[in-house]
Amino acid sequence: MANKLNELKSNFQIKLDQAKAKVEQSKESAQASVESAKAKLEGKFSQLKDSFSDIQAKAKAKKDAVEESVEAFKVEKNAARAKKRAEHAEEYAVACLAMVEAAVIEADYAIAEAIIAAAEAEELGQV
């Protein structure tokens, strides 16, 4: 009976050692899988980070181009506005000069009328 007990104990110890070995092997395999997955994830993360940086750079370039375009439009719009304003001012100046010319001509007529009226008055006064 002691022999049988020793044999059972020995078989149990062998099975226990085999189970421990399998657990250790599974543990090592799981750690290797985790390390492999971690390395893959780090690689993917690095790729995503690079892609995100590229997207950010492209977005910034596009934003800068749009801002530049808006500024060019504003300058063009202001230039057009200034040109139109200059044209209106020139037209106003021409109209004012025409009014001054008409006033000078009217003044000449008034002076001539005054001279004629004075001459007539003088003639009528001597008769």
Maximum separation of any 2 CA atoms in the chain, in Å: 183
The tokens describing 72, both together, are: 């060019």
The number of domains in the chain is: 1
Residue 96 lies in a domain: no
Residue 31 lies in a domain: yes
What percent helix, strand, coil does the chain show, rounded to 5?
Answer: 100, 0, 0
Claim: this prediction has a pTM higher than 0.85: no
Residue 64 lies in a domain: yes
Domain ranges, residue 29: 1-91
Q: pLDDT tens, 45-102?
A: 888 888 889 999 999 999 999 999 999 888 888 888 999 999 999 999 999 999 999 9
